[in-house]
Amino acid sequence: MGHKKTRFNKTALYTAVAAAMMVGRAYAFDAFTIREIKTQGLERLDIGTVLTYLPLSVGDELNDATARQAIRSLYGTGLFQDVQLERDGNALVIVVKERPAITTFKIEGNEKIGGDDLKKSLKDLGLADGELFKRELLDQVEQELRRQYYANGYYDVNIDTKVTEEPNNRVSLNIKVTEGKVTKIKDINIIGNKVFSRDELLAQFKLERTNWMPFQKSDRYSKQQLGGDLEALQSYYQDRGYLKFDVRSVQVALTPDKESIYITLNVDEGTVYKVKDHKFSGETILNETFLNALLSTPSGSTFSRKEATESANRIETALSDIGYAFAKVTPIPDVDEDKKQVTINYFVEPGKRAYVRHISFSGHGTTNDETLRREMRQLEAAPFSKSAVERSRIRLTRLPFVEDAEVDTKPVPGSDDLVDIVFKIKERAPGSVQFGVGYSGSQGFLINGSLTHTNFLGTGNRVELSVDHNSVSKSVNVSWTNPYFTSDGVSQTVGMYYRKTSAIIRYAAGFNADTVGGNLTYGIPLSEYMALRAGIGFTETAIDTFPNSTSDEVERFVIQNGSHFFNYQLRTGISRDTRNRTFFATYGSIHELDVDVSLPGTSLLYYTINYHGQQYQPLPWRFLLEANAFVGYVNTFRSDREVPPYENFFAGGPQTVRGWRDGTLGPRDSIGYPYGGKLRTTGQLNMIIPMPIETDGKSTRAALFYDVGNVFAQRNDFTIDQLRHSVGIGFSWFTPFLGLLQLSYAFPLNEKPGDQTERFQISFGTGF
């Protein structure tokens, strides 16, 4: 018994469009059992693909419900733009129209928006050569492009979408963008402000009116940025007591030519509210007296949302330091409208006390895990402490081979009292290799080379080797530093050197000196921030003088002390270091006091006292003030003896007073060369300038500087009018191969006759 082929309505199903809309209208047909499944309209696909997605098979019954389910499933694949079901006897015939494939897809004219990132995102959406075409997706792309142009101030943009049909059920797509001119903010008006001027309020905005500055971008209207500016405006008022401040309306008017935008805000300032009192609720955990000490919202003060939030943050930090890692403190204002007063209720939700399960590190290359783990102040299996975790992060950033470290605290799945801590390490070059051949008027031909590595074999040990050879000196230096000679952080430095020179520093002085020496020094931590330096050093020095060419000062020293010396020194010192980084710090300070004393029984009895201080002070608008001070004094224990000329202090150059040649400031010998002195006092004040090319300031810095200082033959010779002063601009860059490269251009302010000035100066390799 046969049936002629018909569509379901009388003997068939409904069309794909009716199925896709899923209207409630029912179609009457006779249900039947499927004995065979056929397809019509397939071009690129085969019947196996259709059957994969079809929720029916031979032997199933086709009825109203199963027909709707089948059409819905086939449409859901995205492969077809039309699906119909037909009956041919007891055979189910699936009639489809495949979606066309995209042969080419182009976007033209989009210079301001897009690029490779846009192409990638469109490809991820399915708009790319070879993908199936969906008209609705193309419409979404057009809307998204328009939104992005509007967000960047291009309101005159025109987007023309063209779909061209190609043979074999294919299409080519072309989106042509005419960007037009950027629409600029002509004016921002604020209505209703009485307490603060419009200029004060507009200073809180990132959006600005068009001004005379070239390449201005802040005058491009963005709805998202306006929302952020309104939030900043509300914070400005509420931080000054205007708790009920409100922006009643915002009007954004676009001129007919779409070249200008006018923004008008209507505000209601309200009145100032005072803090009546504060209280704590919830599960406070901590003693109330201790909590009160953390608040900066005393009774009688003007209400400030910022102060209330910061007080809540301090309570959260205090709770996190005793293990409550996810503590939440919410300041809730209880307002007395009649008296215009606020009682701040700090609602404390400590959560469960958390313990650290694992501490791990990522991004640290060949550095040993133990090298990083020994810097931890937060321990595994111990209660979580936010302060300990942050101190651990800072100790990592203070390592010379680490540029930055970030920390991520992750709850352990399935546990409400365990966390894992992951430190993400960004390393910098751990060392530098340098080799050079050159010529100097004072030193002749120069050959030098050095190797410095601050993370030898991933251990954190520091190795230094340098060799110099020129017409006035030859030297070899080698040293090894183990920062964890003992497990509790005692460091050890071993150094050896040999130097043969005919100069005190780098200028001929009419004598030769051969020196071999070594030192053994330990650094002993006294606390988290303080350390003691203790060690011994030895030198053996032989001096050769020459008739008629050696300075009177050197001759006098040799007559008093001879020409061959064995010297042993006790080296001591104490330091306090609170900087957040050893290179390019942004806050904190370091103070070092060192005292080196010759031991009894050695050839030359003298002592050296050095103080070095460095302070970093953050300033508004990402500026930073760096202050450096150095005072050094050397003298003998006997008034009738002279200090060895090679132990004198020198000044001038990049590390002391920029603008004067290296080592040329201070007393000179009878021949006229720099001879140094017993007292050096120098200072540098650097105003670090924010650099637009780098926002973190961890590898480059520019600064305006003021330097002051000099060297004096005797302590009593010090006078303020003999100090040299200079100002200028400097640039520092932590290079991968040269270490810390420093450039400066200085303007000496009080050059004296006989001074040797040098405005442009460069140094490198001194940052390790």
Q: Among 494, 486, 489, which Cα is nearest to 520's?
A: 494
The span from the CA of 53 to the CA of 37, in Å, is 13
DSSP per residue over 75-96, as a string? Answer: HHTSSEEEEEEEEETTEEEEEE
Q: Do the Cβ atoms of 56 and 66 come closer than 8 Å?
A: yes
Q: Among 640, 644, 722, which Cα is nearest to 681's?
A: 722
Q: Among 351, 350, 369, which Cα is nearest to 360's?
A: 369
- pLDDT, residue 521, reads 96
The backbone torsions φ and ψ at residue 138, rounded to the nearest 5 degrees and listed phi first, read -65, -40
Q: How far is CA 578 from CA 575, 626, 688, 698, in A?
A: 10, 14, 19, 17
pLDDT digit string, tens, across residues 546-593? 877 788 888 888 888 888 999 999 999 999 999 988 888 898 999 999
Please enumerate in sequence order all residues whose Cβ is within 8 A of that of 508, keeping only pairs 6 or more positions apart, or say none. 442, 472, 502, 673
**Ramachandran bin of 765, using left for φ above 0, alpha for ψ from -120 to 50, beta for the remaining angles:** left
pLDDT(693) > 80: no
Q: Do the Cβ atoms of 336 and 244 come closer than 8 Å?
A: no
CB atoms within 10 A of CB 323: 21
The span from the CA of 332 to the CA of 279, in Å, is 10
71 SS3 class? helix
Average pLDDT over residues 678-698: 83
- pLDDT, residue 138, reads 78
**Two tokens, residue 655:** 């590390």
pLDDT digit string, tens, across residues 140-174? 778 878 887 877 778 888 888 888 888 888 888 88
Q: Do the Cβ atoms of 183 and 210 come closer than 8 Å?
A: no
Q: Among 371, 376, 297, which Cα is nearest to 341's?
A: 297
Q: Among 331, 182, 315, which Cα is nearest to 259's?
A: 182
**Two tokens, residue 285:** 């955990």
Q: Which of 274-283, 382-391, 667-676 is predicted least confidently?
A: 667-676
The span from the CA of 651 to the CA of 711, in Å, is 6
User: Given pLDDT bands bounded at 50, 70 and 90, which one contains residue 24?
Assistant: very low
User: Given pLDDT bands bounded at 50, 70 and 90, which one contains residue 438?
Assistant: very low
Stretch (H or E) spanning 334: strand 328-336
The span from the CA of 347 to the CA of 145, in Å, is 45
Burial label, 267 (beta-carbon count in 10 A; 0-12, 13-18, 19+): buried
pLDDT digit string, tens, across residues 672-683? 888 899 999 999
Average pLDDT over residues 485-490: 92
Half-sphere exposure (CA, 13 Å, Cβ side) for 270? 16
Average pLDDT over residues 758-762: 90
The backbone torsions φ and ψ at residue 389, rounded to the nearest 5 degrees and listed phi first, read -65, -45
Q: Do the Cβ atoms of 521 and 541 come closer than 8 Å?
A: no
**Two tokens, residue 161:** 């979408």
CB atoms within 10 A of CB 158: 12
Placement of tokens 């600005």 in the chain: 208
Q: Among 429, 471, 425, 431, which Cα is nearest to 448's?
A: 471
Q: Among 730, 762, 764, 724, which Cα is nearest to 746's?
A: 730
User: Given pLDDT bands bounded at 50, 70 and 90, which one contains residue 196?
Assistant: very high
The span from the CA of 234 to the CA of 193, in Å, is 12
User: Given pLDDT bands bounded at 50, 70 and 90, which one contains residue 442?
Assistant: very low
- pLDDT, residue 16, reads 38
The span from the CA of 725 to the CA of 713, in Å, is 19
Q: How far is CA 348 from the centre of its chain?
A: 32
Q: Do the Cβ atoms of 94 and 77 come closer than 8 Å?
A: no
Rg for the chain, CA atoms, rounded:
39
Average pLDDT over residues 732-752: 84
Q: Do the Cβ atoms of 517 and 537 come closer than 8 Å?
A: yes
Q: Which amino acid is at 194?
A: K
The span from the CA of 739 to the CA of 319, in Å, is 42
The span from the CA of 85 to the CA of 68, in Å, is 10
Q: Which of 156-160, 278-282, 340-344, 695-699 is predicted least confidently?
A: 695-699
Stretch (H or E) spanning 364: none
The span from the CA of 433 to the CA of 738, in Å, is 7
Spell out the alpha helix ranges (H) of 376-498. Answer: 386-397
Q: Do the Cβ atoms of 539 and 520 come closer than 8 Å?
A: no
The backbone torsions φ and ψ at residue 490, rounded to the nearest 5 degrees and listed phi first, read -75, 125
CA angle 401, 405, 406 (to 5 degrees): 170
The span from the CA of 388 to the CA of 320, in Å, is 10
User: Given pLDDT bands bounded at 50, 70 and 90, which one contains residue 255?
Assistant: confident
pLDDT(18) > 70: no
Domains assigned to the chain: 6-98 (3.10.20.310), 101-178 (3.10.20.310), 184-268 (3.10.20.310), 274-349 (3.10.20.310), 355-427 (3.10.20.310), 433-763 (2.40.160.50)
Q: Among 644, 648, 650, which Cα is nearest to 711's?
A: 650
DSSP per residue over 155-193, as a string? Answer: -S-EEEEEEEEETTTEEEEEEEEE--PPPEEEEEEEES-
Highest mean pLDDT among 202-211, 237-246, 754-763: 237-246
The span from the CA of 130 to the CA of 99, in Å, is 12
DSSP per residue over 602-671, as a string? Answer: SS--EEEEEEEEEEEEE-GGG-EEEEEEEEEEEEESSTTSPPPGGGSB-B-STTS-TEE-TT-BS-B-TT
pTM of the predicted model over 0.95 = no
212 SS3 class? coil
Q: Which amino acid is at 397?
A: T
Average model confidence (pLDDT) for the chain?
85
Please enumerate in sequence order all residues whose Cβ is within 8 A of that of 681, keeping only pairs 6 or more positions apart, or say none. 630, 631, 632, 709, 710, 712, 718, 723
Average pLDDT over residues 522-544: 94
Q: Do the Cβ atoms of 276 and 342 come closer than 8 Å?
A: yes
The span from the CA of 327 to the CA of 317, in Å, is 8
Average pLDDT over residues 102-110: 82
Percentage of the residues of the chain whose pLDDT score is greater than 70? 88
pLDDT(9) > 70: no
pLDDT(437) > 60: no
Percentage of the residues of the chain whose pLDDT score is greater than 90? 51
Spell out the alpha helix ranges (H) of 406-561. Answer: 552-561
Q: Which of 7-11, 85-89, 484-488 is predicted least confidently?
A: 7-11
